[in-house]
Amino acid sequence: MAFRGALVRVLLLLFVPTSGCAGSSAGGTSGPGAPVDPRPAEPHWEPLFSPPPDVFILVRPQAVLTDAAYGPVVRGALALARGKSHLVASVGPAEVLEGAEEVLVGARDRGDPADVDVVVVVRGVPADLDPARLSDEAGHPLWVVGPSRPSVDVTELWRAAGAASSAGDGTATTEDTEASLFELPGRTWVLAAGASRARARDLLSRATRATRSVEGEDEAALALVRVRGPSLVRRVRALRPPSLLSPVGRALDALTLSLARGDGSLRATLSYSDTAAVAPAESTVKDALRAFAVSTSPPGERDGGERDDRGGADAGGGGGVAKAPVSAWLEGATVASSPCCVLVTVAAPKP
């Protein structure tokens, strides 16, 4: 769909509030004897994720690479990619994401598929990487420095593909470009496209000492995806009546998928704005998991676990039909509920 395609395109580009007034809580009290906030005023990227976007993605690359369950798989995939692709092997986007501590993505669904607001924040970028020196496999720069900067602490670069009228000194002279990359203090990069580009430029021009947080962050997760319920239900027909899955979509506030540190389990949390919707949703989720597990089972197992016509043995030497990996994996899922949520937990798939 167009919304998903726009989000992917923006990721590929990288792979590819004012400070408080006197007397406000952000700025502290004023006047003689007022306490002085020792923190330096600086631009904050966190307001870009407020209000919460329709889609929020969080990935911690370094944590994933060192994780016991997923690290070996991801490292192997990266090694294979470097050997097969000149682009991945070059000093460029892949190295940025692989070396980062945290990557956050927010996307807002404006209703019109062509009007998508997307922002990407990369925290803990390797210190030796300079966005102006990133290049594609042909050696062409991916980003060029823009003609102005939001503040003395923030440098804005424009997507090189839109800088055909560059002044010739590596500085872009027009805004005919797809996205901006803002380089912030603390090895933080902000990539903005669509409506978020002008908003990012405005917010990053302001310095404040206020402490920020992002709704949806989970320190216990290697990675997570959070989708606002109304946006998801609007785009997924199966979550609306008369579908059998419609109880899952009724009053759905958000769906969060997360990979847990350590055991690598996959957790899906469905939160609801109406407590009366939780019980029907839980029952529907259980029925759906059972039905999907049966649909992925070998034919003999679907008929009640009888031995198949060929009389073959399962992988363990017994007389039954071996369970398909997906079927066995889903049968281990647990479904629980609280007054607000339905929680599905599935163990990490065994190699």
pLDDT digits (tens, 9 = 90+) for 220-251: 789 999 999 999 999 899 999 999 999 999 99
The predicted pLDDT at position 174 comes to 43
Instruction: Tell whether 190 and 46 lie within a shared domain.
Output: yes
Question: Using CA atoms, how far apart are residues 339 and 345, in angstroms rounded to an integer?
Answer: 17
The predicted pLDDT at position 306 comes to 45
| Residue 313 included in any domain | no
| Residue 178 included in any domain | yes
CA 172 to the chain's CA centroid: 30
139: containing domain: 42-203
State residue 294 phi and psi, 5-degree precision.
-65, -40
Tokens of 121: 């924040």
Q: Check if the beta carbon of residue 75 is closer than 8 Å to that of residue 98.
A: no
Question: Using CA atoms, how far apart are residues 57 and 207, in angstroms rounded to an integer?
Answer: 26
Q: Check if the beta carbon of residue 243 is closer than 8 Å to that of residue 237.
A: yes
| Residue 214 included in any domain | no
| Residue 3 included in any domain | no
Question: Using CA atoms, how far apart are residues 141 and 144, in angstroms rounded to an integer?
Answer: 7
Residue that is last in its domain, among 203, 237, 262: 203
Question: Using CA atoms, how far apart are residues 171 and 248, in angstroms rounded to an integer?
Answer: 51
CA 332 to the chain's CA centroid: 26
The predicted pLDDT at position 38 comes to 59
Q: Check if the beta carbon of residue 330 is closer than 8 Å to that of residue 344.
A: no
State residue 270 phi and psi, 5-degree precision.
-105, 115
Q: Which helix (H) or strand (E) holds 259?
A: strand 252-260
Question: Using CA atoms, how far apart are residues 52 and 62, in angstroms rounded to an integer?
Answer: 25
* The amino acid at 317: G
Q: What sign does the CA torsion over 187, 192, 197, 203 have?
A: negative
Residue that is last in its domain, among 150, 174, 203: 203
The residue whose two tokens read 């109304």 is 230
* The amino acid at 111: G
Total domain count for the chain?
2
Q: Check if the beta carbon of residue 26 is closer than 8 Å to that of residue 37.
A: no
The low-confidence residues of the chain, meaning pLDDT below 70, are 1-39, 81-94, 111-116, 161-177, 210-212, 216, 296-328, 349-351
Instruction: Tell whether 150 and 228 lie within a shared domain.
Output: no
The predicted pLDDT at position 21 comes to 34
| Residue 291 included in any domain | yes
Q: Which residues, in sequence order, are bridge partners of residue 158?
A: 144, 180
| Residue 13 included in any domain | no
Instruction: Tell whether 61 and 164 lie within a shared domain.
Output: yes
The predicted pLDDT at position 281 comes to 98
- Mention every residue, 6+ apart, whose C-beta is less than 8 A from residue 151: 43, 204, 205, 206, 207
pLDDT digits (tens, 9 = 90+) for 243-296: 999 999 999 999 999 998 877 889 999 999 999 999 999 999 999 998 887 776
Instruction: Tell whether 114 and 228 lie within a shared domain.
Output: no
The predicted pLDDT at position 36 comes to 54
Question: Using CA atoms, how far apart are residues 71 and 128, in angstroms rounded to an integer?
Answer: 24
Question: Using CA atoms, how far apart are residues 39 and 35, in angstroms rounded to an integer?
Answer: 12
Question: Using CA atoms, how far apart are residues 94 and 82, in angstroms rounded to an integer?
Answer: 9
Q: Check if the beta carbon of residue 286 is closer than 8 Å to that of residue 280.
A: no
The predicted pLDDT at position 302 comes to 53
